[in-house]
Amino acid sequence: MDSVIDDVGSLPTMLAKPKPERSSSLPLLKTDKSTDSSGSRLSFKTTYDDIPKDSSEPGKEKERAKLKSVSENAKSIDEQVGLGLGLGLGVGSSRIRLSPQFSLYSNTHFTEAKESFTSTEVSELASTVGKGCEDGKVSDKTSSLYRVSTGSELSDDSSSGSYNSAIYKPHKQNDVRWEAIRVVRTRNETSVLEMKHFRQIKRLGCGDIGSVYLSELIGTRSYFAMKVMDKVALASRNKLLRAQTEREILQSLDHPFLPTLYAHFETEKLSCLVMEYCPGGDLHAIRQKQPGKFFPEHAARFYVAEVLLALEYLHMLGIIYRDLKPENVLVREDGHIMLSDFDLSLRCVVNPRLVRFANPVVEPKSSSSCVLPGCIEPSCMFQPSCFGPQFMSKQKKEKRYKTEIYNQVIPLPELIAEPTNARSMSFVGTHEYLAPEIIKGEGHGSAVDWWTFGIFLYELLYGKTPFKGPSNKATLFNVVGHPLKFPETPSVSFAARDLIRGLLVKEPQQRLAYRRGATEIKQHPFFQSVNWALIRCATPPDVPLASPEIVDAKPTDEYLEIDFY
């Protein structure tokens, strides 16, 4: 898979004649070699920021130097958390980000920050870096419109802040891990979590400038994924703002298919994010294990349906995700998904619009909110079970629809909060997943997520992406210029192909969901059998086995005395 490209704040000119001063540092030229030795897709980001503008040698030397630096960073972090030996580095298998010093945004702060935008303003690199950032290039790209994080806003008790944020997370507040954190804090008579409260069990992956570890909160048998980042490396690689964006987004989330950030703490050199651990791995790895390396349609539908709800929620918060791909979709212990990796996300302001009021008197024929061409079936909006039978007669459909209308006391109002009008000029994403408007540098909004959603569904069903060429450059040309084609095998339903066709429309304005966001996609016949409200109760296609490291975990009191620092 191609590497992630991330040129925040730059106009891509891949198809036009590149400007001379940019030509030497186009990520396209630098990232053609983008798979690791195992052939899996690298999540290695190339940014213009990483490359000096006056560089005359954009090629392999710098790429090698960068990989070496990733490797060294990972090794150094391993050593610092006490896992220095024998784990192998897996260079470039992941990337890592974070900001060393940033304010603790409560949900309220986040809202206040967003309110400072108009609907077309975007908060790319939304906040300025606090005291820790002295890099002129970074602050040049900072939007003054967004709430600024300053050193004075720092909290010494960031884990406490994260802990308290459970109060504002009604969907996650019953999570037993909050209780485990409370127990440790009480037991240690401390308001903050520190590295010494955790035992690192193994490294789950490593990225640009940090590593993710499976960690136990000592003495609780509660397990977390701890993302550990080297602050100096972040600063030197201009990753501070991206990291900060991700952390602020993580703090604002409260959704079953998005990560919970339990705590954040820092040591002198490291910054650590404590998140939910997903033992199921990612959908890219899981796809490789499927017969034929593609998912059966019912499994693909399950995964994309949950991803759709996650994207819908993000868009409602004014967050355009921009990096959807199977690698970023992790599988929880219960088999449901968790969308991860927010450092490429864009924050902007949305103006929620109510397009249909809650009304107890519903006229079936007036449900014009279904925008599918030729679709006059209101039944596509009401489904009785999470994943029911897909095909039924028209008579049955009508009967079912009537029953459901009567069972519904008040139909839900239909709200649209789609940051369609946001305009970012950044060149970010993963080659095979890039939307045409990003490649052409036309400016992009939330419709890019619907494009990537189409590529994602295609890849799950066919085992490959539709526009991949022999090189990254060829891939980009294909995305912009080649018509969409479906392979003859595997056999995929008409509904699935129709949905993909609607999503992979090159002109964003003509793309499905451009006008009404996720609502349009939910109403597509491909999702006819999905009960959106109950999807959390649906049976996942696969439930991961408990991680052997956890099953075999020894009683952990013996680790209490270990002091990492």
Ligand X SMILES: Nc1ncnc2c1ncn2[C@@H]1O[C@H](COP(=O)(O)OP(=O)(O)OP(=O)(O)O)[C@@H](O)[C@H]1O
Residues that bind ligand X (CB under 6 A): 4, 43, 94-96, 204-205, 207-208, 212, 225, 227, 275-278, 282, 330, 340-341, 343
Report yes or no: 257 and 143 within 8 Å, Cβ to Cβ: no
Question: Which residue in 6, 32, 230, 323 is the catalytic one?
Answer: 323
The CB density around residue 565, as the number of other CB atoms within 10 Å, is 12
Residue 228, SS3 per DSSP: strand
Element (H, E) at 532: none
What is the signed CA dihedral for 210, 212, 218, 220, rounded to 10 degrees? 150
In angstroms, rounded to a whole number, what is the distance separating the alpha carbons of residues 516 and 508?
Answer: 13
From the CB of 361, what's the least distance to ligand X, in Å? 46
Judging by beta carbons within 10 Å of its beta carbon (0-12, 13-18, 19+), is residue 557 exposed, middle or buried? exposed
Which residues are CB-neighbours of 31 under 8 A, at least 6 positions away?
2, 3, 5, 44, 46, 63, 431, 472
Structure tokens at 102: 């940033």
Task: Respond yes or no on whether the N-terminal peptide bond of residue 411 is cis (omega within 30° of 0).
Answer: no
323 classed as catalytic: yes
**Residue whose entry in the numeric block shows the structure tokens 């969409």:** 484
Which residues are CB-neighbours of 151 under 8 A, at least 6 positions away?
101, 130, 131, 132
Handedness of CA 212, 214, 216, 217 (dihedral sign): positive
Structure tokens at 367: 């449900």
Size of the chain, expressed as the number of residues it contains: 565
Considering the complex, state which of residue 340 and residue 383 has its C-beta at the smaller distance from ligand X.
340
**Catalytic site positions:** 323
